Amino acid sequence: MFEFIRTHQRIVLAALIILVVPSFVFFGVADYQSFVSNDVKLAAVKETNITQEQFNQSWRARLDQMRMDAGANFDVSKVDTPANRQAWLNQLINTQVLQQEVIDGHFNATDNMVRSAIGSNPQFHENGVYSPLKYSEFLGNNGIRDIDYEAYVRQNLAYSHVLEPIAQSVSLPAKTLELLQSAMVQERAVRLKEFEVSTYLQDVTVSDDDIRQWYDKNSKTLEVPRYVDAQYIILNQDAALKSVPEVSDADIESYYKSNIGKYTKQERRVVNHIQIMVPAGADAAAQEEVLKKARDVAAQAKADPAKFSALAKQYSDDAGTKNLDGSLGLLARGDIPVLDEAIFSLTESGVTDPVKVGNSYHIIQVASIDEGSVQPLSAIKSQVLEEIRLQLASEKFADLATGLTQQVNDDRSSLQGVADNLQLELKTVNGIARDLLLTAGQVGENAASASPDAKYFEAPRVREVLFSDEVLKQKLNSGVIEISPSELLVVRVVQEVPATIPALESVKTEVEARVRNEKALEQAKLAGAQELKMLQENGQSTSAGFGPETMISRLMTNQLPEAMLNTIMSAPTDKLPSFVGTATPNGYVIAQVDKVSEGNPEMKMLFTQFLQPGLESGVAIEIAQGVTNILRANHKVQVFPEAEKVILGE
């Protein structure tokens, strides 16, 4: 079930970017009408314009919100695409269309409706009840006035009057749901036989003509994308350590003495005890009797320490330890302060006389002693030195971070001066493309992908900075990029290299490998298709070359490629076994369908609980979109030529 949902994540991603109302960008009612009227017009709904400024402001805010949500994993190049820009413009238009429809239709939401909507929002609840404090915190954290937020809620409630009645009226016919459920939960017992490319590679021959013809036809696929070479300064622990001055032997010795406790192993003792309590309110005679008993038990324990466990079980009033040999565990000085003197008074293993603590007598047995020790400086000098250097580096890092931030802000024309002033290493790497790091084979030995610092340039936001207008076009240093609290990065573009198609001579080995693989793939497909034909003609079940039987359905795909799954689930089942085949990127696969079952109750329940609501919601969204398109036509939506430039990011 969940495999099916994961397979269709692109639908979910589209929904994340596009909502009926772009609510991630908060505007009050008036704000939709307050954009600069003389700005470049991208679209118009009747007399109301949607301008480039409005689009840019709202789209930047949406990207910022997504960046905040995704953190370091956010890659703006994957989101800020023409398709998503087009969809966002459509949403701004649709929002304006809905607003116009609300005005024309006199749709409104009363104060009670607004209060009810806010009060029922779980975001403002505490322990299941509306909390005015949570609501106030939300407004304060987002810098929103209550009057503006209420207007926003009122507007959305008014919008809901337009489309919600249509969406809520949607339901799929029972017969349709029955057929869909049957198709989704039906299970087929399948065995697979694979014809892999690797099996045929050794039989393939590739000529120079093959290589040339492939290159002439497919050279575009070898294109090295536009990339930059970059200088950078990384400030981290290693860089700070290089700035730490030499540590003298006297400093090492002083640090060692000041922190001697770190290098001292405390003495610890395995301790057992017998607790004999004095009854509450006991007179002197009774107390003397208890002491006599304690002395007698102690004498027995001293006479035969091996009996201590039995004596504890017989005499101890400590219910927690009497059945555990009286064990108090492995104790260091200070673990049980009131017993310290007794526990550490013995110079070797043994049993103490009774010790009075509160209203009880304790008989202590020291079963064994783990002697304490102090590591000599001579044995741990290198460790102590490293500790000192790390401590100094931590202090140095703070100073360097302040200096780096100040100098980068003061002078953005060069990184050399910054590196010299702070005595930090200025490094250079090559081959940073917008979406990836190029290989050493593509850009040479100094490839960022092969650098020890590759992880920094693999971060989407670092590449985003490198390809920003300031850094790429204006040739300025970047600001300080915080990779983590202990890793700061500054980058500068050295040169921009346009996309190029490499000469055949430089990629001949790669082309030969591709040609060889393509020929082997054709052989694998041919062999698979020939065997499939034979099996279909024969119609007999066989295990020769086939894997183990596995159950497959559209909900439980066993990670089969979509094309193969569709082929298997579409195979005729009037006569079994049934044989079908599918070409794959790695060759060819024959599937033998042996059995068909109509799905178990659990799968049917999953369909009803999870998939059916999604299907109905999808239909509702499609219908609502259709109504929106009709409203767009009614309200005479115009999209101007300038919109295309904005969508393409020009």
DSSP-assigned states of every residue in 127-174: TTEE-HHHHHHHHHHHT--HHHHHHHHHHHHHHHHHHHHHHHT----H
Starting from the edge strand earliest in sequence, which strands make up the sheet with 487-497, in order? 427-433, 227-235, 487-497, 481-484
284-303 and 308-315 helices, crossing angle to 10°: 160
pLDDT digits (tens, 9 = 90+) for 117-128: 999 999 999 998
Q: Which pLDDT band, with edges at 50, 70 and 90, does 27 fall under?
A: very low
Out of 187-201, 482-496, 534-548, which region has the weakest mean confidence (pLDDT)? 534-548
- pTM confidence score: 0.61
Q: What span, in angstroms and rounded, lies between the C-alpha atoms of 34 and 53?
A: 11
The torsion angles phi and psi of 230, rounded to 5 degrees, stand at: -135, 145
On whether the CB atoms of residues 377 and 253 are closer than 8 A, the answer is yes
- For the ranges 96-105, 460-469, 492-501, the lowest mean pLDDT is seen at 96-105
Coil vs helix vs strand at 274:
strand
Query: For residue 540, what pLDDT band results from cuts at 50, 70 and 90?
Result: confident
Question: How high does pLDDT run on average in the chain?
Answer: 88
Output the pLDDT for position 26: 43
Record the tokens describing residue 33, joined without a space: 């009408």
The answer to whether 124 touches 134, Cβ cutoff 8 Å, is: yes
The helix or strand, by DSSP H or E, that contains position 622, with its residue range, turns out to be helix 612-634
Q: Does the pLDDT value for residue 1 go beyond 70? A: no
Q: What is the pLDDT of residue 240?
A: 93
Q: What is the pLDDT of residues 161-211, one digit of tens each?
A: 777 776 677 777 888 888 888 888 889 999 999 999 999 999 999 999 999
- What is residue 593's three-state secondary structure? strand
In the predicted model, what is the mean pLDDT of residues 297-316? 94
Q: What is the pLDDT of residue 577?
A: 92
pLDDT over 60 (residue 21): no
CA dist 40 and 392 (Å) reads 57
State how far the alpha carbon of 412 is from the alpha carbons of 417, 418, 471, 476, in Å.
10, 9, 10, 5
Q: What gap in Å lies between CA 212 and CA 336, rounded to an integer?
A: 85
Burial class (CB in 10 A: 0-12, 13-18, 19+), 190: buried
**Helix (H/G/I), strand (E/B), else coil: 570:** coil
Q: What are phi and psi of 361, to 5 degrees?
A: -110, 135
- Kindly report the length of the chain: 650
Which whole number is the average pLDDT over 489-495? 97
Q: Which residues contact 261 (CB under 8 A, 6 or more apart)?
A: none
Would you tell me how many other CB atoms lie within 10 Å of the CB of residue 603?
20
Q: What span, in angstroms and rounded, lies between the C-alpha atoms of 256 and 174?
A: 80
Instruction: Give the Cα separation of 501 and 223 in Å (integer).
Output: 4
* Structure-block tokens of residue 117: 């909507």
Mean pLDDT of 282-300: 92
Query: Is residue 33 pLDDT above 70, yes or no?
Result: no
Dist. CA 320–CA 275, nearest whole Å: 11
Q: Given 3-state DSSP classes, what are the helix, strand and coil percentages for the chain, each rounded to the nearest 5?
A: 55, 20, 25
The pLDDT tens digits of the residues spanning 420-429 come to 999 999 999 9
Rounded Cα distance between 234 and 224, Å, is: 27
Specify the pLDDT at position 225. Answer: 95
CB–CB of 520/526 below 8 Å? no
Residue 296 has pLDDT above 70, yes or no: yes
Q: Bigger pLDDT: 433 or 32? A: 433
Would you say residue 492 has pLDDT above 90? yes
402 has pLDDT over 60: yes
pLDDT-derived band at 23 (thresholds 50, 70, 90) equals very low
Question: Tokens 């370091």 — which residue?
Answer: 72
d(C-alpha 638, C-alpha 196), whole Å: 54
Q: Report residue 2's pLDDT band, with 50, 70 and 90 as the boundaries.
A: very low
HEC string of 415-478 equals CHHHHHHHCCCCEEEEEEECCCECCHHHHCCCEHHHCCCHHHHHCHHHHHHHCCHHHHHCCCCC
Q: Which amino acid is at 165?
A: P
Surface-to-core class of residue 400, CB atoms within 10 Å of its CB (0-12 exposed, 13-18 middle, 19+ buried): buried
pLDDT above 50: residue 58: yes
**Structure confidence by residue, pLDDT tens digits, 231-260:** 999 999 999 999 899 999 999 999 999 999
**pLDDT above 90: residue 624:** no
> For the segment 316-338, what is each residue's pLDDT rounded down to a tens digit?
999 999 999 999 999 999 999 99
Whether 523 has a pLDDT exceeding 90, the answer reads yes
